[in-house]
Amino acid sequence: MLNISQLKIAREGRVLSYELKLAEGKVLAIQGVSGVGKSTLLSAIAGFVEPLAGTINWNDEPLNHLPVEGRPVSYLFQDHNLFEHLSVIENLSLGFAGPAPKDELIAAASELKVLEQLEKRPGKLSGGQRQRIALIRTLLRPEPLILLDEPFAELDPETRHLTVNWVKKTAKANGKTVLMVTHQAEDAEQLADECLILEGATSN
């Protein structure tokens, strides 16, 4: 269970407040107007933003004082966070305690139609190809809590449908708990078990 209680974060003279409970293995869609604080919530869970107050607990363990690298979190940023000096397959192979699950990575790349891109540098890929590579990397890493910020924004409708289904299948098969920021109602309908709509912040 992810339990976020009375979390408060200062942003540009405003205080953003969050309250959230999500059972293990569930997918939550996070929606709300631009600037309401969707990405800020993911950043706080991942440990990039210091809250003013409140707690973030994962399976009853407080995360607040853990460093970014000590949190049980795999995070897909809006800009895809791929290392440009490594090939795509090297990017995909990072972050595993033991050897990377190459067969699983290659099967995912084939399913998402990016198999031909694996030996290239991320800079040579289209936005949509990078997005699928970043999704494979984020979903197949070992951490149980998956944070996705606009993960399908650059995909055409057909590829989007394929990719959303792959994320759903992969998250469920591996028991992942997923928080996904999206502006698309159909992504939420297709993928999410629950929906959180963030609303305005209070002024300081």
Ligand X SMILES: Nc1ncnc2c1ncn2[C@@H]1O[C@H](COP(=O)(O)OP(=O)(O)OP(=O)(O)O)[C@@H](O)[C@H]1O
Using the minimum distance from each CB to ligand X, give the nearer residue, 32 or 101: 32
Of 31, 39, 163, 170, which lies in the binding site for ligand X, with binding defined by CB under 6 A? 39
Of 18, 29, 40, 88, which lies in the binding site for ligand X, with binding defined by CB under 6 A? 40
Contact present, 135 and 112 (Cβ < 8 Å): yes
31 binds ligand X (CB under 6 A): no
131 binds ligand X (CB under 6 A): no
* Structure tokens belonging to residue 140: 């197949």
Contact present, 48 and 27 (Cβ < 8 Å): no
User: Minimum distance from CB of 184 to ligand X (Å)?
Assistant: 12
- Selection from 54, 38, 12 nearest residue 180 by Cα: 38
11 binds ligand X (CB under 6 A): yes
Using the minimum distance from each CB to ligand X, give the nearer residue, 117 or 131: 131
Using the minimum distance from each CB to ligand X, give the nearer residue, 94 or 197: 197
Per-residue burial over 100-122, b if 16 or more Cβ lie within 10 Å, else e, is bbeeebeebbebbebeebbeebb
Binding site for ligand X (CB under 6 A): 11-12, 32, 34-40
